[in-house]
Amino acid sequence: MATFIEAEGFVHVTNVTNGEFTMCGDAFDLASDIDGYEQKSTKKTTVTCEHCVAIVRDLQGVRTRL
């Protein structure tokens, strides 16, 4: 199940295989490099980060098999 976080006024979705990053590549510890950057938990479930959105849309319809 997807996990969502807020950062810089946008809602991101976390990377399923590496929860230390968002889908767009922001690291959970990015605040140590960028002043004012903070990730926080959110109950919002609509992704508003344009980069995360682009990845999610690109993956829709991808067929998979295990």
Q: What are the pLDDT digits (tens) for 31-65?
A: 666 677 788 899 999 999 999 999 999 999 999 99
Q: Please report the pLDDT score of residue 30 as a whole number.
A: 65
Q: Please report the pLDDT score of residue 63 as a whole number.
A: 95
What DSSP string runs through 1-66? ---EEEETTEEEEB-SS-TTBBTT--BTTGGGTSTT--EEE-S--S---HHHHHHHHHHTT-----
> Is the full-model pTM beyond 0.75?
yes
Q: Please report the pLDDT score of residue 53 as a whole number.
A: 97
Separation of alpha carbons 21 and 15, rounded Å = 6
Work out the average pLDDT over 21-34: 77
